[in-house]
Amino acid sequence: MLLRIALISLLLLPLSAGDGRAGVDAEVAGDALGILLPFYALAHTAVVKDREGTKQLALSLGVSVATTLALKLTIDKQRPDDSGHDSFPSGHTAAAFGGAAFLQRRYGWGYGAPAYALATFVGWSRVHADRHRVEDVVAGAAISLASAYYFVSSREGGVAVELLHSPEFSGARVSWAY
């Protein structure tokens, strides 16, 4: 429990950093959390010796990042601040939600709820900094959520939902482990 509190505290450090002005530099904090959330998820799998979780995280994040990058290159949407043509979808938000969705799917809402709150902050910070529009961050989050729901299974039991697709069948399987 102490380790969990320490690791969550590490995620909150960027929120106390600023550039000397009163308040928080939301863009810097969002940038840091976009990187820290997936790394926290990876560190957690190492701490609890969850090799299967490490594999699932790598697969889920890998697909999410590849999808995000492919869409950025294909769609060529200009950023609101005119700094480039790679606005859609938000990579920072995809990374943050990739870590959050993994934590929730694999270890439950005790880890997922705070991680989703931090990931939502990342998305908000990207819009607030005029780097993305709302639809860019929603798409980044949705890509990572879909990837996690497809590739990540619960370690602790409980209710699990799996999306299934084959040439003959598309649907969902709901299971309950106790």
DSSP state of 23: S
Give pLDDT tens digits for 40-55.
Answer: 999 999 999 999 999 9
How far, in Å, are 53, 63, 119, 166 from residue 95 at the CA level? Answer: 17, 11, 9, 28
Both tokens of 80, joined, read: 């609101």
Whether the pLDDT of residue 74 is over 70: the answer is: yes
Range of the domain at 165: 24-177
Whether the pLDDT of residue 3 is over 50: the answer is: no
Residue 166 lies in a domain: yes
Reported pTM? 0.78
Q: Considering only 12-16, 140-144, 150-154, 171-175, which range has the smallest mean pLDDT?
A: 12-16
Whether the pLDDT of residue 16 is over 70: the answer is: no
Residue 58 lies in a domain: yes
Residue 3 lies in a domain: no
Whether the pLDDT of residue 9 is over 80: the answer is: no
Residue 18 lies in a domain: no
Residue 4 lies in a domain: no
Residue 151 lies in a domain: yes
Whether the pLDDT of residue 163 is over 50: the answer is: yes
Residue 155 lies in a domain: yes
Number of domains composing the chain: 1
d(CA 169, CA 31): 40
Helices 2-12/109-128 angle, 10° precision: 0
d(CA 83, CA 65): 21
Residue 93 lies in a domain: yes
- What mean pLDDT do residues 105-115 have? 92
